[in-house]
Amino acid sequence: MRQSMLIKRGRLGPALLAVTLIVGTAACGGDSGSGDGAIVGLITKTDTNPFFVKMKEGAQQAANSAGVKLQSFAGKQDGDNEAQVQAIESLISAGAKGFLITPNDSKAIVPSIDKARQQGMLVIALDTPTDPANAADATFATDNYQAGKLVGQWAKAKFEKDGKQAKIALLDLNANQVSVDVKRDQGFLDGFGIPVGDPNKIGDENDPRISGHDVTDGAEDGGRTAMENLLQKDPSINLVYTINEPAAAGAYQALKAAGKDKDVTIVSIDGGCPGVDNVKAGVIGATSMQFPLKMASLGIDAISAFAKDGTKPQVTAGKDFVDTGATLITDQPQTGVEAKDSAWGKENCWG
């Protein structure tokens, strides 16, 4: 009854319909490039994370110069597999030559990818591998273990030089042991010289140098609360590893409030521009930079090459994926650890 009254009373129904149509058309029109070439897809985890915003930018640039049409899709939030499945279905019916995908659920997406490949499409996993990794034709990604290892090695050199005994807090992502989270965490410990137990599991080490772990959701608020609680647990913490730079920014606020910001070293991973600013300001000691723009543009180039003559991308020597690199950014270089300074970082950062 309420609905029928609404329709009788106002012109809301038609107006809403009109708005929906306009918005819908605008959204669909927005992504198509100008070239007449093949259709290439990009499916990211979300539309809002600056990392994926940058990735989309890189893909668009590469698509423009390669003369292919880019169609972009994204999940609604981290973990949204459904939207990515629908995106693949849309690309299949659009007759795309291939697509780049950052899987929200590495396992659950595989059947849809299989379908696309049976249609002769080239599928490249970007940033996050599928599970199993060979479900996609190739993976273009940061070596997250290596990224963690770089900051671990830097921290080790710094602590050895200062002659300090480390007490380490690890600020991870969440309780789900996500592969990116695990690799960065374990890579850091390995780089620092702490034997990791099961390399696929966070938190099974018994080294006395580890004061504790907590989770952050990869955001500032989680980073601050986690750091506060760990400092209560062990006030002697002097080295903090963080899953990403927002978590590092939050951790810094906690350290500052406790008056420990001068005595504690924070290391992180990402290479976002706010994070590089924080390296310059001395908030973060060192961070590993990844290159989403490069990942996306290399990926688009690979699919355009495939569309032209059917060539498939070759993996980096010694690895089962195409390593798009990780570069250590710090203003306190340590001997034996290759690094660039924050000025270089500022020129190459994303977000």
Binding residues (CB under 8 A) for other proteins: these are: 2, 6, 47-50, 53, 77, 174-175, 203, 212-215, 217-222, 224-225, 228-230, 232-233, 246, 249-250, 253, 257, 274, 277, 351
58 versus 98: smaller Cβ distance to other proteins: 58
The residues near 253 (Cβ < 8 Å, ≥ 6 apart) are: 220, 224, 227
Smallest separation, CB 111 to other proteins (Å): 28
- Sheet with strand 322-323: strands edge to edge: 69-74, 39-44, 98-101, 122-126, 138-141, 322-323
The DSSP bridge pattern shows strands 286-289 and 239-242 to be: unpaired
Helix/strand/coil for 212: strand
User: Which residues are registered as beta bridge partners of 139?
Assistant: 125
Find tokens 């273009």 and name the residue.
140
Which helix (H) or strand (E) segment holds residue 26: the answer is helix 12-30
Contact of 272 with 293, CB cutoff 8 Å: no
For 86, other C-beta atoms within 10 Å of its C-beta total 14
Nearest one of 293, 291, 243, 299 to 271, comparing CA atoms: 291
Nearest to 211 by CA among 192, 237, 191: 237
CB of 28 to other proteins, least distance (A): 16
Q: Are strands 168-172 and 239-242 parallel, antiparallel or unpaired?
A: parallel
Helix, strand, coil shares of the chain, percent, nearest 5, are 45, 15, 35
In degrees, to the nearest 5, what angle opens at C-alpha 107 toward C-alphas 247 and 320?
Answer: 80
Nearer to other proteins, 155 or 254 (CB): 254
Return the number of the residue (47 or 341) whose C-beta is nearest other proteins.
47
Report d(CA 250, CA 19) in Å as an integer. Answer: 40
Q: To the nearest whole angstrom, how small is the minimum distance from the Cβ of residue 7 to other proteins? A: 12
Specify the residue, 37 or 203, whose C-beta has the smaller distance to other proteins.
203
CB of 230 vs other proteins, minimal distance in Å: 7
Residue for token digits 């996306």? 296
Smallest distance, Å, CB 22 to other proteins?
16
Smallest distance, Å, CB 278 to other proteins?
9
User: How near is the Cβ of 184 to other proteins at its closest, in Å?
Assistant: 17
* For other proteins, the closer CB: 117 or 213: 213
208 or 336: CB nearest other proteins = 208
Give the residue with the Cβ less far from other proteins, 6 or 343.
6
Task: Look up residue 78 and give its amino acid.
Answer: D
Residue 138 Cβ, how far from other proteins at the closest point, in Å? 27
Nearer to other proteins, 207 or 277 (CB): 277
